[in-house]
Amino acid sequence: MASLSSSTTTDNPILNCLYVTLGCAKNEVDTDRMRALLNEAGFGEAHDVDEADVVLINTCSFLASATSESIDATLDLADDVAQGVRRRPIVMCGCVPSRYGDQLAGQLPEVAAFVRADEEDGIVEVVRGVLDIEGQDSEALGNRVLRTVEGASAFVKISDGCDRYCAFCAIPYIRGRYHSRPAAEILDEVAELMRGGVREVVLIGQDTGIWGSDMGDGYSLAWLLRRVGEVVRPYNGWVRVLYLQPEGMTDDLIAAIRDTPEVLNYIDIPVQHCDEKILKSMNRSGSLEQLRAVFDKLRSEIPGMVLRTTGLVGFPGETDDQFDELLSFVTEQEFDYTSVFSYSQEDGTAAAKMANQVSEDVKLDRAQQLLDVAEEMGFAATAKHVGEEADVIIDGVEETDDGVELIGHTWFQAPDCDGAVHIAEGEASVGDVVRVKLVDSFCYELVGEIIGE
């Protein structure tokens, strides 16, 4: 699939950048943006350290474990670079520099430059600086579309930052205050992606449900979904939205999902917990009864919809009874997909200073119990689709011992997190949409046969 950025040249020879991305889909989008900027400035792309002239690692710092992984990956890259015969500077980008700032330079001398998440639009100048080269002055970005998506699905950020300040979460300290991305930029990007061959756009942000709340009257996520639907309609495209908070499920938003054909009947609502006292301690709103009402309404308004959620266990002060309530809630709701996390004591967050921290052994035990229930519900939900016919977007083609296997996903599977459809026979290319009959399931995976083959 063609790059969606325009290409210019400089007087410098082509130098290659190696990109390493850790963390969530939002980081993937940020890396893609930096890649497009560097492509436009005349840089090429390397596929391993030996080909690279500079290495960019986009880091995650959502949890302490993610920070450690990011630093370990950076040091591993430094080891690889040290084995080469020429200098390859490393640039650390994203959440770790945003969270730890000036502390890093003295602790990671292997890194040539640190780029915060809100500084990534200046990546061309940073890379030129660490390579000690000159080039044309970068033009003002304005509202230009800069993406280099190669797959059939593309994540599109509609906002950044967060104002919720959940007691367990460091995102507001990493990404800053919430701000909506302008509608014109989003719609232009979606249109360009569709023209480039993308068939599904996945709208993401730290808090997608409140998009437009900082932009004045008339703007809302419901409004945006209807406009994005209009953009993808000529391409028979799909629209998926992730990371909706329970209180953001307004009547207008539910109606927009239900009545806009291009918007998939798939909703991701990370509840974290259902006990009112725990939610209040988390600095979140809601209760067991309110959450039940939200999901009851969604199921009645949009029959057959698919639901994803997230459960967080072991928050400070969580009792056995409160955990059992969460376990029962997930069982009762029969979510199609449930991500499970155990609480991590993150520096700088309110919960890190709370009394009654839950022991690691108890957290791990509770996480495993919830995961067992989540998988029992999820595997059964996946199996219910066996016998159905569905459109499948082809994401990849793999060579196996038995021949070629097509791998894709259908409307009730979010890319990169919900399993896939495996098709053993048939011909198709990445980005094609094929009609299949779902004939078998295993865990979250499905087996499909192309209809008419």
Q: Cα(203)–Cα(223) distance, rounded to whole angstroms?
A: 13
Q: What residue type is assigned to position 264 of the chain? A: L
pLDDT at 148: 73
Residue with tokens 């056995």: 320
pLDDT at 138: 56
Q: Are residues 296 and 265 in the same domain?
A: yes
pLDDT at 16: 92
Q: Does residue 137 lie within any of the structural domains?
A: no
- Of 225, 211, 228, 295, give the one whose Cα is nearest residue 258: 225
Q: Are residues 371 and 397 in the same domain?
A: no
Question: How many distinct structural domains can be found in the chain?
Answer: 3
Residue with tokens 């098709």: 423
Q: Are residues 280 and 334 in the same domain?
A: yes
Residue with tokens 């939610």: 279
pLDDT at 305: 93
Q: Are residues 245 and 365 in the same domain?
A: yes
Q: Are residues 48 and 174 in the same domain?
A: no
Q: Does residue 334 lie within any of the structural domains?
A: yes
pLDDT at 184: 94
Cα 35 to its chain centre, rounded Å, is 18
Last residue of a domain, one of 342, 368, 383: 383
Q: Are residues 118 and 201 in the same domain?
A: no
Q: How many CA atoms lie within 13 A of 110 on its CB side?
A: 17
Q: Cα(293)–Cα(351) distance, rounded to whole angstroms?
A: 28
pLDDT at 87: 76
Q: How many CA atoms lie within 13 A of 451 on its CB side?
A: 12
Q: Does residue 136 lie within any of the structural domains?
A: no
Last residue of a domain, one of 101, 131, 161: 131
Q: Does residue 314 lie within any of the structural domains?
A: yes
Q: Are residues 212 and 339 in the same domain?
A: yes
Contact present, 229 and 239 (Cβ < 8 Å):
yes
| CATH code assigned at 165 | 3.80.30.20
In this structure, what token pair is assigned to residue 14? 């082509």
| CATH code assigned at 403 | 2.40.50.140
Residue positions forming the annotated binding site for [4Fe-4S] cluster: 24, 60, 95, 162, 166, 169
User: End-to-end alpha-carbon separation of the chain, Å?
Assistant: 26
Q: Are residues 186 and 118 in the same domain?
A: no
For the chain, list residues with pLDDT below 50: 1-12, 141
pLDDT at 139: 57
Residue with tokens 């699939």: 1
User: β-strands 44-45, 16-21: how paired?
Assistant: parallel
| CATH code assigned at 50 | 3.40.50.12160
Q: Does residue 138 lie within any of the structural domains?
A: no
Q: Are residues 63 and 91 in the same domain?
A: yes
Model's pTM, two decimal places?
Answer: 0.88
Q: Are residues 106 and 164 in the same domain?
A: no
Range of the domain at 437: 389-450
Q: Are residues 377 and 393 in the same domain?
A: no
Q: Does residue 147 lie within any of the structural domains?
A: no
pLDDT at 140: 52
pLDDT at 310: 96
Contact present, 267 and 309 (Cβ < 8 Å):
no
Contact present, 246 and 210 (Cβ < 8 Å):
no
Residue positions forming the annotated binding site: 24, 60, 95, 162, 166, 169
Sheet holding 90-94, edge to edge: 44-45, 16-21, 54-59, 90-94, 113-116
Last residue of a domain, one of 383, 401, 434: 383
Q: Does residue 8 lie within any of the structural domains?
A: no
Q: Does residue 11 lie within any of the structural domains?
A: no
Q: Are residues 374 and 394 in the same domain?
A: no
